Structure 1
Amino acid sequence: MNANTIGIGLVSGAATALLCLGVVSGSGLSVILYFLSAVPLMVATLGWGFAAGVSGAIISALLIAAFANVPMAVYIVMTTILPATAAGYWMNLARPAEEVGGPAGKLAWYPLSDVVVRLAVITAGAFIVAGALIGYGPALVDELVGEMIARLQEANPEFAFTPEGRESFLAFMTGAIPFMQPALWLMILIGSLYLALAITRASGRLRRPKDDWPEALRLPRAGAMILAVAIAGSFVSGPLGLAATTFAGALTGGFTMAGFAIFHARTRGQPWRPFAMIVVYGAVAITLVAALPFFFAGVLATARPMPVSPGGGPNPPTGTPPAST
């Protein structure tokens, strides 16, 4: 670790803190910037190493705690700082390719698929802890639903829920929130990682070879098994069921992204590709039901491709990605 590494870490941590703190203004731009808050820490870790990422993570957490509050800092650490630093660390890992059945004299890099499923687990765990800290459950959702109905009635005085309709909506929201939040946040983290890799590569600091994301963005079979267990557990009532729903949501987000990657891979070079993308993503924006085929495609196409690069070179990264299965 040197002064330059620490300096990069401090700058990246300050940038992440600023992007996170800006969301309190409530403006549309601040929300978009908040979605990009993991990128600075990812770039620092990818390009300048784990020490830069850790120093950035520490300064980011301290700044948020100082200028906002400790609970917000804890939430940002769990949902943004930890996954951002971990993703950068994993993407920098490599091992001799012959150890995993590859050619001699080459380096095999940690599979993107493994990074995605680990990010899904971290994301699910973060939202479970956050839910436990705020006492998430039917009582809290009932307050949120009540506020939502009140705002709708302000906009339209004729709007009204029957008692039965309110109970049905409450039951739906209680299960939908822990499912949708981690699913959407994992998609944002995956998009942030893609952007961070592009920025680091453009700077000349990225040692990992370029992943072919339409072919590489898959989840391993282990992810499908975890998803199956989570879906089964989601039918259990109480906190255990909500925790399982959270894991199911995060992994569903990962598999859906894999399905979209398959769509991009299969439409390469086709003249009708732009029209197909407009139709597909337009349909998904209108109704999330349109994403279901891509989710199933992702589940049915599990894989763990490892990019390979020439071995040796200055300061080769080290690590131990698991053997290919």
Structure 2
Amino acid sequence: MMIQILIAIAAGCASALMFASIISGALISLLLFYLAPLPLMVAALGWGAAGAAAGGLLGAAGLAAIFSFSYAIAFLVTVVAPAYWLGRLAMLARPVETADSATPAALEWYPVGRIVAWMAGFATLTTMAAMLTLGTDGATISEGLRSGLQRALGSRNSADTDKLIDALVAVAPPAAASVAMLTLTLNLWLAARITITSGRLTRPRPDLRTVALPAMTLAVLSLAIGLSFTGGLVALIGKTASAAMLVAYGLTGAATLHTLTMSARHRGFLLSSTYALVLIFLWPALGLIALGIGDAAFGFRQRYYQRRSMPPPTAT
């Protein structure tokens, strides 16, 4: 019990310090800021989500005492809540009944695809929470973003600068949601790797080729895209949610690509080239997103296994 308490305190303090490092303005602080959920996620996966929540609350209390109450609230919303809930879901399991009562019941673990969907929800929530600090309607938020970008780009006023600022204002919320989605995914993956290395992870390693979003996600994405064409705050929410869910479908597209290339002769080269192109040029990620949406609509992976008379891998 004492070890769990110490781990929770250390994780909460580390996350709070990493979150507060952004105040320094140093470049390395941006990396620490994005990795702030990592210590709490490690604590949640290895020592229990309750301890991670307690450590997060302790870190928030420290931020409130040293800086301000608003910093503590931002830390709770953007770091503690995702770390606690995602860590809790990752370790959630239920027994599966078997026909033979003498056989010990196996465990069915919470699907990774649903965890990815929760990540998209948290990415939307945290991004919109940041946007709402600038105002409560679309025009005020856009004006706040424009003012901040004008200060960042300098006081030069020209037609080209105004066009650039307008473009950045339009893409800033979806881009922020995409970055939040990717950093949550990276943090949870790193936390799982660290916990596996320490021998504390009791959940078996899932086969990431089986990652699939819930069926309703495609309908929610369609609704969010439709809302993005309305205007005002509703359109901003639609764009932000659409961006987060498109990144989620990009992740399932990567899982689909790993499945469809199982029989390829140069599979390693094909996969590494694809990811290199995505990292360098970014736009090839649209292909992964399209592949993920296509798999959700037409079942590419299921058809692949049926065509080769292969049983699909189990999800857990």
**TM-score over 0.5 (shorter chain):** yes
In which range does the TM-score fall when normalised by the shorter chain?
A: 0.7 to 0.9
Q: CA deviation at 1:112?
A: 0.6
> What stretches of structure 1 move > 6 A for 4+ residues in a row?
none
| Alignment correspondent of 1:146 | 150
The answer on 1:55 being equivalent to 2:50 is no
Aligned AA for 1:196? A
Q: How does 1:175-254 map to 2 (within 5 A)?
A: 175-213=170-208, 215-254=209-248
CA contact (8 A) 2:181 2:244 kept: yes
| Alignment correspondent of 1:301 | 295
Distance 1:276 1:261 in 2: 14
Aligned AA for 1:91? A
Structure 1 residue ranges without an equivalent (≥5): 154-159, 309-325
Distance 2:32 2:264 in 1: 34
CA contact (8 A) 1:116 1:254 kept: yes
Q: Secondary structure at the match of 1:289?
A: coil
Cα deviation digits, residues 284-306 of structure 1 (max 9, x gap): 33433221011111222238x87
Q: CA deviation at 1:238?
A: 0.5
Identical pairs, percent: 28
Distance 2:28 2:86 in 1: 25
Structure 2 residue ranges without an equivalent (≥5): 300-312
Distance 2:73 2:62 in 1: 12
Aligned AA for 2:192? L
Q: TM-score, normalised by structure 2?
A: 0.83
Q: CA deviation at 1:4?
A: 2.8
Q: Secondary structure at the match of 1:207?
A: coil
Distance 2:314 2:32 in 1: 31
Q: CA deviation at 1:265?
A: 4.3
| Alignment correspondent of 1:16 | 15
| Alignment correspondent of 1:315 | none
Pairs aligned (count): 293
Aligned AA for 2:133? L
CA contact (8 A) 1:45 1:88 kept: yes
Distance 1:34 1:306 in 2: 36
Distance 2:36 2:173 in 1: 22
Between 1:121-130 and 1:183-192, the stretch displaced more is: 121-130
Distance 2:215 2:163 in 1: 35
Q: How does 1:1-325 map to 2 (within 5 A)?
A: 2-98=1-97, 105-135=105-135, 137-150=141-154, 161-162=158-159, 165=160, 168-213=163-208, 215-267=209-261, 272-273=266-267, 275-277=269-271, 279-302=273-296, 307-308=315-316
Between 1:241-250 and 1:140-149, the stretch displaced more is: 140-149
Q: 1:67 to 1:263 in 2, by over 3 A?
A: farther
Q: 1:268 to 1:60 in 2, by over 3 A?
A: farther
Aligned AA for 1:138? S
Bigger relative contact order, structure 1 or 2 (CA pairs below 8 A, ≥6 apart) = 1
Root-mean-square deviation over aligned CA pairs: 2.6
Q: TM-score, normalised by structure 1?
A: 0.81
Q: 1:268 to 1:10 in 2, by over 3 A?
A: farther
